Amino acid sequence: MENKSVARGMFYGGFASCVAETITMPVDVVKTRLQMDGGGGAARMYTGSLDCAAKLTAGEGVGALFKGLPPALVRQSTYGSMRYGFYSPLRDMLGIEPGKPVPLWKKIVAGAGSGAIASALANPTDLVKVRMQTDGMNKGPDGKFLPKKYTGMVNCFLTTVREEGVMALWKGVGPTVGRATALAAAELATYDEVKTQFKKNKVFTQDGLPLHVSTSFIAGYVSTVASSPFDVVKSRVMGQPLDAAGMGTRYSGMLDCFGKVIATEGPMALYNGFWANFGRVVPRVTIVFIVMEQLKAKMG
């Protein structure tokens, strides 16, 4: 990979991802809560996105909608920068012929590879974000809500390491990588391919904002459909209550979680919070690509 190309792509991707993450954080918190809702056969707390947002705000204040923002920004400055920065170099490494379009399969492989590598390395930041977002949501054996466990990002990180060991920071890495692989493959490949086809078929005659917004919307929808099941499992594995030994009390891992969710709640439970997820992914993808395209146009 060319060092300048990777560094430039990482800077553009990281900056754009942090901007998008800040704007869409309330939707992400609602999405995560909805994905956890009903886990382990518990009674559902929310009837939908608006109900969840209203109850969360009423019970914990407006600031609750930005739970997990610090680790989310740390995550996007690492995961986001690597995911977008690695895509073009990985795609080009698969071989491109001058003057000929890049085959779709190469775009999908490059997107999947960049997402998998970035998410595996950045898993600790994702785990801290999920735990902070779901803190105070779990119930004890008596059916009462457990008290909040963490006072902030650093406290959550240190508590996890102290109680569960360093490797606990990679809990849920399986569904995290699965989600990121599906998301990045769908998002990056779809954006690249749809943009190429729109320009080739003259749906848009110039490379500007209408093209970027339209292409981003399609890429965001495809990404949401592809990644939602992994996103639900990731949230549940990372956010589940733990026993005295620091082991999850509901799921032993990704496959166990997939099986139990389908068996106890039905296959569609894997799309819990879909519209909240859609409401986060599409604006995020749109903001990221618009910011990246503007940065490329002005800075090269």
Domain coordinates of the chain in residue numbers? 3-299
Give this prediction's pTM.
Answer: 0.70
CB 72 within 8 A of CB 25: yes
Select from 224, 221, 223, 213 the least CA-distant residue to 293: 213
Helix and strand element counts for the chain (H, E)? 11, 0
Give 92's pLDDT tier (boundaries 50, 70, 90): confident
CA 115 – CA 180 distance, rounded (Å): 5
CA 62 – CA 219 distance, rounded (Å): 31
CA 168 – CA 252 distance, rounded (Å): 13
Which residue type is seen at 275?
Answer: W
Select from 205, 226, 207 the least CA-distant residue to 274: 226
CA 104 – CA 110 distance, rounded (Å): 10
pLDDT at position 1 over 60: no
When pLDDT is averaged across residues 183-207 and rounded to a whole number, the result is 91
**How many CB atoms are located within 10 Å of the residue 43 CB?**
8
When pLDDT is averaged across residues 139-161 and rounded to a whole number, the result is 84
Select from 160, 215, 1, 217 the least CA-distant residue to 89: 1
How high does pLDDT run on average in the chain? Answer: 87
Q: What CATH architecture does domain 3-299 belong to?
A: Alpha/alpha barrel (1.50)
CB 52 within 8 A of CB 65: no
Least confident of 9-13, 23-27, 36-40, 58-62: 36-40
